[in-house]
């Protein structure tokens, strides 16, 4: 599996085969969240947007040092970009500030689980 090869982790698909599909438009945002949970290993986000745009337009992903912490990195939306997040340990907080322009972002996201309890956080 591609994601296992990239992360060098033994992975299994979500047992419920759950995917999330979002269409973000002006006014969309995500509050800070952490995907950590029992058996979860890697979260993924596939971004499908018509173009990338500057961070001050909003709608980009911000990585945080905690639920209300400072921004440690920003990822602008881009066409056909796959982001992977190691969520075996708590603390991989992310958020997306309000999209201030009439841009559209399409995102497919989900989770991979670890089949081996020794790899759980």
Q: Is residue 121 predicted with pLDDT exceeding 70? A: no
62-95 pLDDT, tens digit per residue, is 999 876 788 999 888 788 889 999 999 888 899 9
pLDDT surpassing 60 at residue 118: no
Q: Domains in the chain, please, with CATH?
A: 2-115 (2.60.120.620)
pLDDT at 80: 86
Radius of gyration of the CA atoms of the chain, in A = 15
Q: What angle do CA 29, 35, 3 make, to 5 degrees?
A: 105
- pLDDT band, residue 117 (cuts 50/70/90): low
Q: How many helices (H) and strands (E) does the chain have?
A: 1, 9
User: What integer pLDDT is reported at residue 60 of this predicted model?
Assistant: 87
pTM of the entire predicted model: 0.82
């Amino acid at each position: 599996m591609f994601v296992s090869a990239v992360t060098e982790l033994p992975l299994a698909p979500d047992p419920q085969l759950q995917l999330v599909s979002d269409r973000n438009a002006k006014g969309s945002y995500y509050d800070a969240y952490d995907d950590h949970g029992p058996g979860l290993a890697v979260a993924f986000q596939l971004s499908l947007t018509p173009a990338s745009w500057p961070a001050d337009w909003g709608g980009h992903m911000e990585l945080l040092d905690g639920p209300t912490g400072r921004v440690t990195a920003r990822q602008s939306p881009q066409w056909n970009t796959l982001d992977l997040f190691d969520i075996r340990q708590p603390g991989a907080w992310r958020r997306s500030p309000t999209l201030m322009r009439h841009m559209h972002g399409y995102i497919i996201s989900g989770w991979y689980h670890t089949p081996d309890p020794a790899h759980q956080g």
